[in-house]
Chain A
Amino acid sequence: MYAQMIRSTGSKVKTPEEMDPQERAFQERIDAGGKIEPRDWMPEGYRRTLIRQIGQHAHSEIVGQLPEGNWITRAPTLERKAILLAKVQDEAGHGLYLYCAAETLGVSRDELTRDLLSGKMKYSSIFNYPTLTWADMGAVGWLVDGAAIMNQVPLQRTSYGPYARAMVRICKEESFHQRQGFDIMMKMANGTKEQRAMAQDALDRFWYPSLMMFGPSDENSVHSAQNMAWKIKMNTNDELRQKFVDQTVPQAEFLGLTVPDADLKWNEERGHYDFSEPDWDEFFEVLAGNGPCSADRMEARNKAWDDGAWVREGLLAHAEKKKSRAVAAE
């Protein structure tokens, strides 16, 4: 999930009797599958939670360009380089669709950027891991984008109109991302002994961080309960994680690679794979900003913002000059 542990109101979900008439009408509209649009009335908690969630999702897309950007200049062929470049450009586009959706809730782009750069707002834990070899480009597309799709497909039905519409566009494009990743993995897994070893190593390093993307179990979380009632969260973290494992294990077998989990096995009774939980202490450390690449990522984003200042200011000054000339000519 690109949005992890989104705080909600922190209170338990209100019963219809506890709601005032406006809030009850709002909830009934959501229950009936209706969409909420920017100028409609909404509870303040819904608005704030959505800003947190969509903002974190957008930041993840933007920061998510960095681990892959690392390999653009070192792609093994010109075709692979062009594909990776297109993929990373898509991630920038996804960030922009989502920032726009967040802005319809009354937060400005600059506020969102400031909160990312100061570390106040988070982005997905997964992007704080390094991409050490070309095989990591395969693993990121296959596993990281694969895990993101699990979460994003149901979000196309989320209750907030602009968010749902952004997700529709994103899902169409994510499928390219996952397939290009799997294509890299196939090539590596069917290559030389060294390439196979690189593919296995990439799976070994990205498996548990990918499982962490869904966040810890939230069965008893009041935040998740409220967000599910509002339909801004569609499934529990465990449901999505299970779905991801069930889909991915046969793909690993197809590649001839081994999932790094000795306890992984098919459970006939449940109709699902049993698997080991990731190390949640590691997850909380990474989320707190202590991941292997956390400092690098924040430094790169801050540098990009600072280095781009003269471009932003210059273009604005040029636009104003053009405008005043046009007025003078009238």
Chain B
Amino acid sequence: MQNEWPLWEVFIRGQHGLSHRHVGSLHAADAEGAIKNARDVYTRRNEGVSIWVVEARQIAASSPGDKGPFYEPANDKVYRHPGFFDIPDDAGAM
């Protein structure tokens, strides 16, 4: 058991014009096999109209340890949210 097939991450676009979304992972010898396996494992009930697969080792991810400092710049910019501004009702729909 030394020749394990590589791990692929699977992304599927549902039927409602949404973005591709990560649904899980699987093993396959190559990309073509990964797409076929993804069809059988993740779309048995018409869950999608498009499949992306990418080898898991190709994904770069942010480190969970950085959670605080990494996202901190967003914390003090509440004015980015529309609710920050008080607009009188008289101004009409906005």
A binding-site residues for B, Cβ under 8 Å: 37, 39-41, 86, 89-90, 93, 96-97, 100, 103, 108-110, 113-114, 165-166, 169, 173, 312-313, 315-316, 318-319, 322-323
- B25, B41, B44, B64: the one within 8 Å of A103 (CB): B25
**Chain B CB within 10 A, most for which of A37, A103, A166:** A103
CB of B75 closer than 8 Å to a CB of A: no
A115 to chain B, nearest CB (A): 11
A-side contacts of B40, CB under 8 Å: 89, 93
Whether A318 contacts B64 by the Cβ 8 Å rule is no
Which 10 residue pairs are nearest across A and B when measured between Cβ atoms?
A319-B30, A315-B29, A319-B29, A110-B1, A100-B25, A316-B29, A39-B64, A110-B4, A40-B64, A96-B41
Q: Write the B33-50 contact mask toward A (1 if CB under 8 angstroms, else 0).
A: 100000011001100000
Does B63 lie at the interface of the complex (its beta carbon under 8 Å from any beta carbon of A)?
yes
Chain B residue contacts of A166, Cβ below 8 A: 24
Cβ of B54 < 8 Å from any Cβ of A? no
CB–CB A312/B3 < 8 A: yes
- Count how many pairs of residues, one from A and one from B, have CB atoms less than 8 Å apart in the complex: 52
Contacting residue for B3 out of A39, A313, A323, CB 8 A: A313
Q: Which residues of A contact B24 (CB under 8 A)?
A: 97, 100, 165-166, 169
Cα–Cα, bound, A93→B45 (Å): 12
Q: Are A103 and B1 in contact (CB under 8 A)?
A: no
Whose C-beta in chain B lies nearest to the C-beta of A101?
Answer: B24
Q: With contacts A93-B41, A100-B24, A322-B30 known, is A109 near B63, CB below 8 A?
A: no
